[in-house]
């Protein structure tokens, strides 16, 4: 469809499509239902925005968050596209004016929440607005197996009764095979064209560090990123506020974000982050969905996420502009125990079992010595070829291994002796206490100080023994029960390994980082950019954004400014060749940036 390429440049300033965008747009323009799974930063919004601007009629976009609606509409308006939204953030007078405009056909794109969409009076009006297409964003919310299930999404299938002949496109960034099936079934998509892009985010780097002196690690990681923006995810509300306060005391501008804040304060803190007034937002998982800030250069998880799906979604906030960004997870085994306590509070046993399985997969990711990218992709059913990704700590700095045969023999033997003497199994902690020769109440009560394995494991620290135990579980030599008080037992394979003294290679515990860190090197960025000019262009962008009351990236993204700083365009024609510069933005902002470029050249 040649006209799609021309429209892409005219409306958005881009010269080429991202993977699968053209194919999805072709299916949309052909009037088919579509299910599209594209990674964060893969350009999902363009798949319904561009068709909306290429034809008559209204495209209705169902979006879960008010902040996302405003952000998307601001970006579309900056590109000269007639778009609007209806939600509780606008006055009754403004809402009436926008409804009047919709009745007159003045808009091509309308954003609404699922709750508003399903109001009977809204549906009555909707029928009169010439809706040609429906886009359902964050479609994974419809599945109870997704990481962000929202019951109100279940009613969206009713739109078929109101607009029976209007095609639907369902989009999300994260969906396992099971969730993908729920999206198609529960939204009643009719013979949909299905598009599944790779879940790989090649511009993201992944690393896991031990959670020992976590604040020092976080501060060093942030400082290594200079003036760049990032997100730190914490498990508790208090954790976000404490961390933000400490960062501010250390001259790193930061705000907290969690569900306990008032709506006004959450909105204010989010705006500060989006507009680059602060560098860091310390947040619970209440922050994230719909955040379209493209220049987030790092995401830190100060606490263990509840699932790989959540982790993938949250790290996906980074590097949406395609430039390199870094993802750090701080991990200690006790974090998993804390999550297990939350899981145990769930009233439904089936829900508990699902959550436990998801947590086990997350812990395996954190502890594994395998390629982290391969593990992430494998979770979503995608196979990665090749030996190493070159973008995770396990590939760039593989953890050293050692002959773990003797250590395995000691641990397995201790588990066996405890069961033999006591007639019951115990938890990992008790086994380690026996190995290290401790005199705990339980050891004395059960006479486990008389075991032949008592005190034979003083050569390893507690943390090392815990890591050895978890590796033996992953190898299938030990099995750990579920529940609030899990115990470990030998498997048939473990008993055979113990009896035959089978050689086993284990991976050493992750070592803490050095206190002094090197500046992280960015990969995948525009080469040859003049950093001095780039900073001047950022200043102009900030001034223009403040005047319009929008985040800086609405004017131009970092990658666009980097290309300007590298190519130094001298006139309108050369400026139009820059990715992200279309006719509308050239007319509105081009001369301001050209003036700075010319002055910098002298």
Got the DSSP string for 115-167?
A: HHHT-HHHHHHHTTS-EEEEEESSGGGG-TTSTT--GGGGGGGGHHHHSTT--
Is residue 340 within 8 A of residue 356, CB to CB? The reply is yes
- pTM exceeds 0.85 for this model: no
- Over pLDDT 90: what percentage of the chain? 52
Residue 525 scores a pLDDT above 80: no
Say what the pLDDT of residue 524 is. Answer: 43
Measure the CA–CA gap between 116 and 399, rounded to whole angstroms. Answer: 52
Per-residue pLDDT of 355-390, as tens digits, reads: 888 888 898 899 888 899 999 999 888 888 777 888
Joined together, the tokens standing for residue 451 give 């075991």
Helix (H) or strand (E) holding 51: helix 46-54
Per-residue pLDDT of 416-462, as tens digits, reads: 999 988 889 999 999 999 999 999 989 999 999 999 999 999 999 88
Say what the pLDDT of residue 517 is. Answer: 33
Q: What is the DSSP letter of 94?
A: H
Say what the pLDDT of residue 253 is. Answer: 96
Query: What are the structural domains of the chain?
Result: 2-196 (3.40.50.300), 204-397 (3.40.50.300), 402-507 (1.10.10.10), 531-601 (1.10.150.80)
Pairing of strands 131-136, 204-210: unpaired
Q: What is the mean pLDDT of residues 396-412?
A: 91
Split at pLDDT 50, 70, 90, the class of 523 is very low
Measure the CA–CA gap between 123 and 64, rounded to whole angstroms. Answer: 18
Phi, psi values for residue 214, rounded to 5°: -65, -40
Measure the CA–CA gap between 17 and 23, rounded to whole angstroms. Answer: 10
Say what the pLDDT of residue 514 is. Answer: 38
Is residue 30 within 8 A of residue 51, CB to CB? The reply is no
Is 103 or 516 the better-scoring residue by pLDDT?
Answer: 103
Per-residue pLDDT of 280-301, as tens digits, reads: 999 987 665 556 788 999 999 9
Query: Which residue from 516, 119, 67, 542 is spatially nearest to 271, judged by alpha carbons?
Result: 67
Query: Which residue from 333, 327, 287, 334 is spatially nearest to 311, judged by alpha carbons?
Result: 327
Neighbours of 530 (CB within 10 A): 18
Q: From edge to edge, which strands make up the β-sheet containing 34-37?
A: 83-85, 109-112, 58-62, 131-136, 168-172, 34-37, 193-196
């Amino acid at each position: 469809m040649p006209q799609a390429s021309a429209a892409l440049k005219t409306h958005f300033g881009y010269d080429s499509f991202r993977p699968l965008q053209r194919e999805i747009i072709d299916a949309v323009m052909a009037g088919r239902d579509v299910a599209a799974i594209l990674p964060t930063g893969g350009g999902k919004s363009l798949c319904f925005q561009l068709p909306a601007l290429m034809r008559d009629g209204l495209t209705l976009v169902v979006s879960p968050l008010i902040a996302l609606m405003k952000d998307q509409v601001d970006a579309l308006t900056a590109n000269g596209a007639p778009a609007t939204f209806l939600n509780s953030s606008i006055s009754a007078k403004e809402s009436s004016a926008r409804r009047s405009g919709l009745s007159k056909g003045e808009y091509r794109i309308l954003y609404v929440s699922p709750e508003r969409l399903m109001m009977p009076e809204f549906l009555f009006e909707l029928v009169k607005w010439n809706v040609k297409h429906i886009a359902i964003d964050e479609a994974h919310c419809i599945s109870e197996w997704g990481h962000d299930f929202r019951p109100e999404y279940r009613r969206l299938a009713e739109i078929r009764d109101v607009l029976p002949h209007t095609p639907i496109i369902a989009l999300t960034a994260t969906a396992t095979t099971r969730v993908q099936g729920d999206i198609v079934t529960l939204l009643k998509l009719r013979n949909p064209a299905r598009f599944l892009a790779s879940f790989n985010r090649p511009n993201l780097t992944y690393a896991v560090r031990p959670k020992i002196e976590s604040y020092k690690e976080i501060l060093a990681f942030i400082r290594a990123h200079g003036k760049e923006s990032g997100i730190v995810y914490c498990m508790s509300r208090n954790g976000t506020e404490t961390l933000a306060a400490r960062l501010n005391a250390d001259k790193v501008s930061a705000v907290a974000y969690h569900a306990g804040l008032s709506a006004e304060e959450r909105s204010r803190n989010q705006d500060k982050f989006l507009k680059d007034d602060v560098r860091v937002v310390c947040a619970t998982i209440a922050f994230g969905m719909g955040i379209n800030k493209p220049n987030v250069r790092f995401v830190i998880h100060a606490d263990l996420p509840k699932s790989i799906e959540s982790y993938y979604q949250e790290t996906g906030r980074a590097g949406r502009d395609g430039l390199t960004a870094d993802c750090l997870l701080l991990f200690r085994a006790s974090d998993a125990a804390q999550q297990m306590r939350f899981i145990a509070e769930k009233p439904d046993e089936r829900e508990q079992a699902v959550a436990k399985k998801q947590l086990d997969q997350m812990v395996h990711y954190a502890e594994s010595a395998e390629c982290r990218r391969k593990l992430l992709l494998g979770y979503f059913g995608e196979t990665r070829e090749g030996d190493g990704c070159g973008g995770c700590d396990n590939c760039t700095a593989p953890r050293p291994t050692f002959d773990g045969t003797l250590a395995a023999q000691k641990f397995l033997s201790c588990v066996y002796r405890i069961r033999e003497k006591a007639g019951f199994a115990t938890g990992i902690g008790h086994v380690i206490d026996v190995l290290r020769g401790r005199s705990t109440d339980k050891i004395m009560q059960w006479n486990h100080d008389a075991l032949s394995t008592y005190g034979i494991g003083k050569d390893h620290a507690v943390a090392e023994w815990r890591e050895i135990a978890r590796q033996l579980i992953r190898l299938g030599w030990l099995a750990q029960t579920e529940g609030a008080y899990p115990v470990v037992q030998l498997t048939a394979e473990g008993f055979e390994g113990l009896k035959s003294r089978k050689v086993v290679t284990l991976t050493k515990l992750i070592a803490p980082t050095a206190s002094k860190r090197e500046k992280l090197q960015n990969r995948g960025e525009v080469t040859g950019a003049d950093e001095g000019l780039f900073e001047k262009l950022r200043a102009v962008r900030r001034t223009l954004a403040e005047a319009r009351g929008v985040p800086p990236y609405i004017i131009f993204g970092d990658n666009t400014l980097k290309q300007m700083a590298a190519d130094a365009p001298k006139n309108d024609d050369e400026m139009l060749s820059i990715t992200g510069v279309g006719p509308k933005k050239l007319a509105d902002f081009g001369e301001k940036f050209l003036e700075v470029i010319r002055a910098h050249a002298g």
